[in-house]
Structure 1
Amino acid sequence: MNNQIETAVDQLIPAPARSENVIMGSQHFLNVLARSIAGELYKIHQRAMSKVLSTIAIVTVVLALLFTNSTSSRLFSDMIYTTISISNFIGTILFIILAGTIVGGEYSVGSIRLMLTRGPTRIQFLLAKLGTMLVCVCIAFISLMVVGIITWMLLNLPAGRTIDWSFMNAKWLLHTALYFLVTLLSVFTYCVLAISLSTWGKATAAGVTGVLIWWFLEGGISSLFTILGSRMQNAFGTFFAAIPDYFIGNNLGALRTNQQNYLLGEAAGSINDLHAGIVIIVYLALCGGITWWALQTRDITN
């Protein structure tokens, strides 16, 4: 009886009129995702951290070009390699910090509860974070390339140096573009790892510390397996020696090295592009899938 009365009362109460200042956008999946990415980019733009990290990256690239400046006839080509290499190193560190922060910060202040109960779905939340980092990586690397070119022009053009542009042909442009793209992929892969660990650990420190430790220790672990493989002249030795070929850093490094070696006329690395590409895709799919599963099954009220 009480339920019938409450239902009748609810039906009599009209829904409140929506304010004219509230604009409801399309609820299509891609439209919601695009607005979520735009919102994330706005939050990053408003943070002081983004400005500090951007300044560090720009200063690092400029200083690297100042110290490596020479009179080589391939100076422009050398500048491209130097800028991309330095951007990859410093960008990996800075973007790991940023990626871990934009996810871990949601848990530290509790805003993820509001977002997942009233905003986008959980898969849209995850894709928005990943899409935001992809956009940020692209913008940052393009901006650093512009900074590198401007710095190179200021250092060399006033001196009247003659630059040999004969190296710049279709193949050089193609492989330089591929070198640039695989570097973007390298930094974005570590961003995915930082987002995954921050989501699993529900804290910024989990993503930032975990990925940075693995990034720095991976080289030492690879050397250890290689030494074990060389000393054990049996099937176990072959197994240990092959393990580093499936590490994230080694495969990302192989993708970059293969393009760089092609441009410099050197021999390709021990890991081919197909093997490295498949390994990285598996890592990205695995990390993304587990992170999505963790979001879907997690009680956000806890």
Structure 2
Amino acid sequence: MTAPPTAPATSNAVGRRVSWQTGVSILVMVCAVYLARRHWPVIESGAARLAVADRGWLLVATAATAATWVCSALAQQGAVARPLPARRLVAVQFAASAANHLLPAGLGAGAVNLRFLTRCGLPVGRSATALAVKATAGTVVRGFLIAVLALACPGVIHPPHVPAVAVAVAVAVVGVGVVLLKGPLRRALRAVLADVRAVHELPARAAALWGGSLAFASLHAAVVIAVTQALDLPLPPAQVALAYLAASSAAVLLPTPGGLGALDAALALALTLAGAPGSAAASAVLGYRLLTVWLPLLPGLLALGVLIRRRVV
């Protein structure tokens, strides 16, 4: 008895894989066109306001924006013990920043990076903990910068009064969640701590993780500072950086895609409370969003489609 031919089955499997990748690529491009058309008034308004701004400061803001993707790649490399392909890693961060505006709470960027790490040969669990290590380092660095800038600019941040009842309810909810998920949380925490120890056993990886995370947050603040300088806002750079870091941290509580809406409102309010006129603060937010979201959005999603077709992610 002859064995059944396997070539047709293999061809069918390859064909299904190619069709799936093509479908995802087309879907990504359709989303890009849809988002650009839906938010075109925002893009047009921001471009009109920035047309009369100082070109030199806008070039500084543009350079800082481009550097954020390199720093994100550096931090991601620092969270992984094995070396990753540098150029592909930077391209993935660029594409992930665009995908982050399709899904809430960073799920888009997380999914793209998770897929990339698994494509590089890391197990899914190790890839997930690498993303958790990077996110933890970013949170620690952001808190450190806020603390330093708050000491340098006293009186800029006014923490809202939180009733004791609300604090007690929040603590109770967290406590119940920890009790109910005690086993999974312990395993996840143990895995993250193991990866943290492994990374810090390699000084170069630890420097990449913390240096990249620090540079990433600082460069985003630098973008806002450069935009405010281009628009001649009467605010010291340290206050602008503190306003951005506080606003972006608060926006995390409302997990919209890419912080759209939440970060915009929080940053505009923070700049206004820092002393900027309301219309100027709105222009600064539009400029920041134009440089970090709207201009890179379509190229980033197109890059994501190319990475999918080339099976990088």
Q: Which has the higher contact order (CA 8 A, sep 6+)?
A: 2
Task: Report if TM-score (shorter chain) is over 0.5.
Answer: no
The structure having more radius of gyration, on CA atoms, is 1
TM-score by length of 2: 0.28
TM, length-normalised to structure 1: 0.29
